[in-house]
Amino acid sequence: MKKNLTIILLIILGCKIGYTQQAGVKMPPMILVEGGTFMMGNNEGNKEEKPVHKVTLNSFYFGKYEVTNQDFKKFVDATGYVTDAEQPDTVRLKHGLPPRGTYQGSWKKYKNGNPVPVGDSVKPVANISWFDAVEYLNWLSKETGKKFRLPTEAEWEFAAKGGTKSKGFKYVGGDNLDEVAWFLGNSGNRSHNIGQKMPNELTIYDMAGNIREWCSDWYAETYYKISPEENPAGPERGTHRVLRGGSWGSEESRMRISYRNNEFPYNSAPGFGFRPAISGEPAVKKETLKPADNLLKDLDTKGFVDVYGINFDIGKSVVKPESLPVIDQISTYLKEHQQMKIIVEGHTDNTGSDAKNLSLSDKRAQAIKAELVKNGIAADRMETRGYGSSKPIADNKTAAGRTQNRRVTIKKQ
């Protein structure tokens, strides 16, 4: 009982782990998961868990606890958000979704229609769809100034295994399932307050059971056969999203760390919940890149800065997560200098025709501008230019040189 009260008190006070708490909505307790390499999957498991393959991840922050009812209620109270489970079939059909079918309850009502009592405020929020989880994390990002997101499936498994501190346990946090998880064998067919079972090597709680957790990835049964080694983020498209970890209703056979679940992103169930993640700094750098810490100094003294650490994912036309800390720093600088206007110059290596190079460099600049706009910087303060490969600063014949040539230059107007 004393342990439970301590856990609840820590949650209410908002422990400061990894990130400091900001004004307004409290930061959830976050654990730094140092990047590293591990073997993902299980050759003794189901076919979708095969083959075992090497994965290398950047560092990231991961929720110490699952998001609770009281956490989610703050979001709903502030925004008036209505979850997918609460939407009538008339609304679902209007948006092209199938009828819900058998009523499973919602985050605030049990399947029998009874309301979730106040006393369940520190139980993990349940009956949450993938879309509900993303909406909550988007709101939390705006309230705290940090870029919260769902973890990738690879990040989830790495954190569950204890990251670089892994002791090779059978389950998340130990070899005795009863000590680390609420599952079918001990749950009494219900979820329980977070943080009651033993944590894993990283002091993360309830990853083995209590509530299944949404990941950001699309699901594909054969994805492990083609998964990239570095920072895999799942297939580019699909119909189902990934769920990981067992729940209070899971059999022991489904509680192993590598077990994979999936569901339509608009569906929810009494065993579906989530926990937050935040991108961290890269753990392994292929080249020595210019530190982002020089950004403010260079803009003040030179009037421009070349940023090599911004990696543009041309296939998806978005900036990769590892570059977001640099974007945040640029945003902060521009917010502190409200009258300043900038030029965002995109560059690329010599990858083909002049027209193709110009297009790639222009898209690089436009992608950076789009991220800055997301961070609250007015679009009319930024001019974008694409320079193709006409301004190389390094040898295009080497991988390191090509990486440097694929840079973005920020200039004062």
> Which residues have a Cβ under 8 Å from the Cβ of 298 and sit 6 or more positions away?
304, 305
Domain 2-279 belongs to what topology?
paralog of FGE (formylglycine-generating enzyme) (3.90.1580)
**pLDDT at position 323:** 67
The domain locations on the chain are 2-279, 292-412
Residue 382 has pLDDT above 60, yes or no: yes
pLDDT of 230: 95
Kindly report, residue by residue over 397-407, the tens digit of the pLDDT: 776 667 667 77
Confidence at residue 314, expressed as pLDDT on a 0 to 100 scale: 55
pLDDT at 146 over 90: yes
Tokens of 95: 């948006």
What is the rounded average pLDDT of the residues 236-262?
Answer: 95
CA gap 15, 26 in Å, rounded: 9
Q: What percent of the chain has pLDDT above 90?
A: 53
For the chain, helix, strand, coil in percent to 5 are 30, 15, 50
Q: How far apart are CA 53 and CA 307, in angstroms?
A: 33
Q: Is 284 left (phi over 0), alpha (psi -120 to 50) or beta?
A: beta
Residue of 191, 153, 154, 232 lying closest to 65 (CA atoms): 191
Helix axes 69-79, 130-144, angle to 10 degrees: 80
Three-state SS at 39: strand
Task: Report pTM.
Answer: 0.64
Which class would CATH give 292-412? alpha beta
- Predicted confidence at residue 305, as pLDDT, reads 74
Amino acid at 353: S
Model confidence at 95: pLDDT above 90: no
Neighbours of 190 (CB within 10 A): 14
Q: Tens digit of pLDDT for each residue in 280-337?
A: 744 333 333 333 445 556 677 777 777 765 656 555 556 765 566 677 778 888 888 8
Which positions ≥6 away from 234 have C-beta within 8 Å?
152, 153, 215, 216, 217, 218, 219, 220, 223, 242
